């Protein structure tokens, strides 16, 4: 197992689109192991995308099951050739990224999504995700198209009134 | 030896203030760090963290301040280290306008552990029925529940929503 180097912006590779994963073999499994090792070595990241370590393939890992404040989740997710097939709602949330150290900013994401992807055996799976996990998935999928959360920043001064509120 | 200063400029709003001021700074190798530049009512305000060689920033900006009628204040040798502090709570407040809303709300929330990172307010509505609107991003040093509990003490007629921010780290 190897902890890989994480690319940081302005590395141009972060702005490139990634290619479809076509071969599901031991090399892929070894890469996934290293990618997860790299995620866990960082400062509490809930996701990582292959292009963040310089591998331009459509593959991400998301795991929001270990947060201090628990959220709905599907545990450890390896999403290969993922695509979002449905979106619903909009919500503002704050995001940071391993590839953009020392900055967090507000981003609008879909509140809930349906995600379709292949697992490590190449089998297609589809399910619904919402809230924080859906946000993490959308953040990671953006990396596959050369998008960073910086491309989606909204001004703090154009505030949206958020929906989940605790009324006084 | 480069050092950091904080420049504050305020004056009547007009097009081109930012471009003219920042061109003068750039021409003398002053590097901008964090800045806030915003129109407030008919005024335009700028606060700029600037990294620069040993020089008199007041003298550098004297001409432009005179031509644009800007008030200038310079705090020299401010801290160079400015790690971002992430907010963990977002608070929105609104109500029929009256004096003392900000004072009342922030005093009650400060007692319950609110450290304000970013606060802005606006006056909306019509002249005879003005509405006061405030948004706050801050740190709930005693937890969000403490703020929610304390908010019950706020006067009727002021609507207040407290939403935790769970920053995504990916």
**Candidate from A59-73, B68-82, B94-108 with smallest mean pLDDT:** B68-82
Domain of residue B9, residue span:
3-75
pLDDT in tens, B55-92: 999 999 999 999 999 999 999 989 887 677 889 999 99
Question: Cβ distance B21 to B90 under 8 Å?
Answer: no
- pLDDT for A161 equals 46
DSSP A83-124: EEEEEEEEEEEEEEETTEEEEEEEEEEEEEEEEEEE-TTS-E
CATH number at residue B65: 3.30.70.260
CA distance B160 to chain A (A): 6
- Residue pair B138/B76 in contact (Cβ under 8 Å)? The answer is no
Numbered residues of chain B with Cβ closer than 8 Å to any chain A Cβ = 38, 83-84, 86-87, 90, 92, 118, 120, 135, 137, 144, 148, 151-152, 154, 160-170
In a domain, B82, yes or no: no
The pLDDT value given to residue A44? 85
Who wins on pLDDT, B15 or A159?
B15
The alpha-carbon radius of gyration of chain B (Å, integer) is 20
Q: What are the backbone angles phi and psi of residue B75, rounded to the nearest 5°? A: -100, 115
From B75, B107, B130, give the residue that closes a domain. B75
Pick from A167, A10, A37, A88: nearest CA to B163: A167
- Is residue B170 domain-resident? no
Mean model confidence pLDDT for chain A: 93
Measure A113 CA to nearest chain B CA, in Å: 17
The ipTM value here is 0.86
How many structural domains are present in chain B? 2
- Residues B69 and B100 both lie in one domain: no
The DSSP symbol for A53 reads: G
Residues B96 and B156 in one domain: yes
Out of B152, B161, B167, name the one closest to residue A165 (CB): B161
Q: What is the DSSP letter of A154?
A: -
Which residues of A carry out catalysis? 140
Same domain, residue pair B60 and B9: yes
Q: What is the largest CA-CA distance in chain B?
A: 56
In this structure, are B93 and B158 located in the same domain?
A: yes
Nearest CA in chain B to A64: B168
Q: Please report which residue ranges of chain B form alpha helices under DSSP H.
A: 17-27, 57-68, 101-111, 144-150
Residue A139 has its nearest CB partner, among B118, B154, B170, at B170
- Give the pLDDT confidence of A25-41 residue by residue, as tens digits: 999 999 999 999 999 99
Nearest to B165 among A44, A94, A136 (CB): A94
Separation CA A166–CA A35 (nearest Å): 38
Backbone φ, ψ for residue A91 (5° rounding): -150, 140
A123 vs B95: CA distance, rounded Å: 55
Any idea what the Cα angle at residue B169 is, between residues B121 and A103, rounded to 5°?
55
Which residue segments constitute the domains of chain A, with CATH numbers given? 12-152 (3.90.45.10)
B80 assigned to some structural domain: no
Q: How far apart are CA B66 and CA B72, in angstroms?
A: 10
């Amino acid at each position: 197992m190897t902890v890989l180097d994480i690319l940081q912006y302005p590395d141009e590779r972060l702005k490139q689109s990634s290619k479809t994963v076509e071969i599901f073999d031991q090399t892929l499994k070894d890469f996934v192991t290293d990618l997860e090792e790299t995620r866990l070595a960082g400062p509490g990241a809930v996701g990582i995308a292959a292009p963040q370590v310089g591998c331009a393939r459509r593959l991400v890992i998301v795991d929001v099951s270990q947060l201090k404040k628990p959220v709905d989740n599907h545990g450890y997710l390896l999403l290969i050739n993922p695509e979002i097939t449905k979106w619903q709602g909009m919500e503002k949330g704050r995001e940071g990224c391993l590839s953009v150290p020392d900055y967090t900013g507000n981003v609008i994401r879909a509140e809930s999504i349906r995600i379709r992807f292949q697992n490590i055996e190449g089998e297609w799976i589809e399910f619904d995700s919402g809230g924080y996990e859906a946000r993490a998935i959308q953040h990671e999928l953006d990396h596959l198209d050369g998008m960073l959360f910086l491309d989606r920043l909204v001004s703090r001064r154009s505030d949206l009134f958020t929906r989940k509120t605790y009324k006084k | 030896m480069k050092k950091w200063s904080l420049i504050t400029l305020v004056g009547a709003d007009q097009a081109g203030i930012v471009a003219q001021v920042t061109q003068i700074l750039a021409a003398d190798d002053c590097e901008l760090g964090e800045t806030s530049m915003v129109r407030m009512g008919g005024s335009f305000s700028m606060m700029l963290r600037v990294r620069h060689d040993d020089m008199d920033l007041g003298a550098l900006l004297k001409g432009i301040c005179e031509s644009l009628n800007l008030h200038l204040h310079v705090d020299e040798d401010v801290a160079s280290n400015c790690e971002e502090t992430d907010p963990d709570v977002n608070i929105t407040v609104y109500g029929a306008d009256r004096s003392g809303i900000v004072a009342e709300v922030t005093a009650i929330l400060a007692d319950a552990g609110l450290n304000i990172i970013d606060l802005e307010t606006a006056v909306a509505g019509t002249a005879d029925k003005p509405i006061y609107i405030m948004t706050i991003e801050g740190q709930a040093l005693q937890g969000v529940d403490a703020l929610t509990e304390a908010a019950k003490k706020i006067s009727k007629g002021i609507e207040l929503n407290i939403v935790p921010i769970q920053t995504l780290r990916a």
